[in-house]
């Protein structure tokens, strides 16, 4: 299995440290410039991206102009913001005025947004430099980043393995050191699952904590923007910059945004960590089970109180999700008809408008997107709405109540992020098997609670050494508790 070279061609920022905070500090202290850091990242992309396909578009000249402006402001004694010097990659379903916003779909191949997502604007205001747009499963629908109109993304830990999805390009870019951090979107695990497969940190905040304005909609009641990073501290910093109420998104919360790690990592002794029995089963890959059990032993030795809990609706989450999300997708994607938005098929003389619509959408959308549109249209159709969609909404409420009950017994939940490490690109999984990659992550979106995946060690699979993830969940709006716990667990693992 071939790996991306992470040594000889690696950015010299390794001299400073792996995490974003240290890299930004090096720019503020005059040890490096934003321009130098950017050029090293661009060189890195040139070296490794042809083998990874992590980037849909590299915004070279726009990034150079922005980096130069940051260095000019620093030289003048100004404060460009807490992310001055940071190089950020952005999933290509987030609107930017620079470059295109394609959602890795032929439907939007040439689309240029006239506005920027609120999350992007807040990163820029904080001084971050956007280096490029990353590939994804088309319209964020997938768990492997193979459903991209321009070819699959590959995992830096083994280029014959998937990076996970749908934010696979963002996770691969961070894992290959082509960006300090990256933005992803998470509808059912699309930040956390690829972070686990690529050995990164992936954080999904509470629904409504970060504005969805400018995120191309998939499942509007489930979507959330979040960071993929090398450390919990980096994820916390980006969260703090992006979170908060936004008049452009009525679903954002008006609750004040705290600085999650201002008091440092949590002291683990006495913490109540719930272990869902449904997440620790014989069906998990042996390497996932071994790494998870090692973590549990270390937590017990640190004085953590381990609480066995039940989440019996865990395996109903996938079926609930694949009613609600496709239903919302079929509505959100109805606007892409070649008239108002996107690709338009060549008209045939005498052809009616409905036939033109059908050919346009068949040409513009890939097979997974078409599958979900058809499924969503079916569950919303007359005669089936109550049997499927209304029932799924009732189960959604029960899942939320189930989490509320469990969090009365423990402070946070801990389990594996995925049942197995990254699978091979040629695995040719059927749709249901593919969907089950998200069995431990979807319910956090259904319940709207925050969750994070952190690196959980290495598992052997067919002779390959691959990362696996640890998945932490916390009550709604308990980001400080979640991130402090994740940081403490990260520190504990680094000392092991």
Predicted model pTM: 0.95
Tell me: cis bond preceding 166? Omega within 30 of 0 counts. Answer: yes
Mean pLDDT score, 58-62: 98
Question: Which tens digit of pLDDT belongs to each residue from 67-95?
Answer: 999 999 999 999 999 999 999 999 999 99
Helices (H), 204-316: 232-242, 286-301
Please list the active-site residues.
91, 166, 190
Question: Which tens digit of pLDDT belongs to each residue from 142-154?
Answer: 999 999 999 999 9
Contact 52, 156 (CB under 8 A): yes
Question: Which tens digit of pLDDT belongs to each residue from 232-273?
Answer: 999 999 999 999 999 999 999 999 999 999 888 889 999 999
The order of strands in the sheet holding 87-91 is: 55-58, 129-134, 87-91, 181-186, 224-229, 201-204, 451-461, 464-473, 412-416, 272-276, 305-309
pLDDT of residue 495: 79
pLDDT of residue 16: 37
Which residue is it, tokens 């008239």? 339
| Res. 13 pLDDT band, cuts 50 70 90 | very low
Calculate what percentage of the chain has a pLDDT beyond 90. 88
Inform me whether the pLDDT recorded for 14 exceeds 60: no
| Res. 220 pLDDT band, cuts 50 70 90 | very high
pLDDT of residue 17: 52
| Res. 1 pLDDT band, cuts 50 70 90 | low
Inform me whether the pLDDT recorded for 8 exceeds 90: no
pLDDT of residue 5: 62
Inform me whether the pLDDT recorded for 490 exceeds 50: yes
Mean pLDDT score, 426-439: 91
Question: Which tens digit of pLDDT belongs to each residue from 464-489?
Answer: 999 999 999 999 999 999 999 999 99
| Res. 426 pLDDT band, cuts 50 70 90 | confident
Question: Which tens digit of pLDDT belongs to each residue from 188-201?
Answer: 999 999 999 999 99
Inform me whether the pLDDT recorded for 12 exceeds 80: no
Inform me whether the pLDDT recorded for 340 exceeds 90: no
All domains of the chain in start order, with CATH: 12-268+414-495 (3.90.1300.10), 272-311+393-413 (no CATH), 315-391 (no CATH)
Inform me whether the pLDDT recorded for 9 exceeds 60: no
pLDDT of residue 347: 85
Distance between alpha carbon 124 and the CA centroid of its chain, in Å?
19
């Amino acid at each position: 299995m071939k790996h991306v070279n992470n040594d000889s061609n690696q950015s010299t920022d390794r001299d400073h440290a792996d995490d974003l905070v240290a890299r930004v500090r090096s720019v503020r202290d005059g040890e490096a410039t934003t321009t130098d850091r950017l050029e090293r990242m661009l060189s890195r992309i040139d070296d490794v991206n042809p083998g990874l396909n992590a980037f849909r578009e590299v915004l070279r000249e726009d990034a150079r102009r922005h980096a130069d402006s940051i260095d000019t402001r620093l030289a003048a004694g100004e404060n460009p913001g807490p992310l001055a010097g940071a190089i950020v990659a952005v999933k290509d379903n987030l609107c930017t005025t620079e470059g295109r916003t394609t959602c890795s779909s032929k439907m939007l191949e040439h689309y240029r947004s006239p506005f920027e997502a609120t999350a992007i604007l807040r990163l820029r205001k904080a001084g971050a430099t956007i280096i490029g747009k990353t590939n994804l499963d088309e319209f964020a629908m997938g768990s492997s980043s193979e459903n991209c109109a321009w070819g699959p993304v590959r995992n830096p830990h083994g280029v014959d393995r998937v990076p996970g999805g749908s934010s696979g390009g963002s996770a691969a870019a961070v894992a290959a050191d082509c960006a300090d951090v990256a933005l992803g979107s998470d509808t059912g695990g699309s930040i956390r699952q690829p972070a686990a497969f690529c050995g990164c940190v992936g954080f999904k905040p509470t629904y409504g904590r970060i504005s969805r304005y400018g995120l191309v909609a998939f499942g509007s009641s489930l979507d959330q923007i979040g960071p993929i990073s090398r450390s919990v501290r980096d994820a916390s910093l980006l969260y703090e910059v992006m979170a908060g109420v936004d008049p452009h998104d009525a679903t954002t919360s008006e609750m004040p945004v705290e600085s999650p790690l201002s008091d440092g990592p949590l002291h683990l002794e006495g913490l109540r960590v719930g272990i869902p029995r449904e997440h620790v089963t014989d069906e998990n890959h042996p390497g996932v089970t071994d790494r998870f059990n090692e973590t549990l032993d270390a937590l017990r030795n640190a004085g953590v109180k381990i609480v066995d809990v039940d989440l019996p609706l865990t395996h109903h989450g996938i079926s609930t999700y694949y009613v609600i999300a496709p239903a919302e997708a079929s509505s959100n994607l109805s606007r892409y008809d070649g008239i108002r938005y996107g690709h338009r098929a060549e008209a045939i003389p005498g052809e009616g408008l409905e036939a033109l619509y059908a050919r346009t959408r068949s040409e513009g959308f890939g097979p997974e997107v078409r599958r979900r549109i058809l499924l969503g249209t079916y569950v919303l159709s007359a005669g089936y709405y109550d049997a499927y969609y209304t029932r799924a909404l009732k189960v959604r409420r029960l899942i939320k109540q189930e989490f509320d009950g469990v969090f009365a017994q423990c402070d946070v939940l801990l389990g594996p992020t995925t049942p197995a490490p990254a699978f091979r690109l040629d695995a040719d999984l059927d749709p249901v098997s593919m969907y089950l990659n998200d069995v431990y992550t979807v319910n956090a979106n259904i319940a709207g609670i925050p969750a994070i995946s952190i690196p959980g060690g290495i598992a052997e699979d067919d002779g390959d050494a691959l990362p696996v993830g640890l998945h932490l969940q916390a009550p709604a709006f308990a980001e400080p508790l979640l991130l402090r716990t994740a940081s403490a667990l990260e520190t504990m693992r680094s000392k092991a």
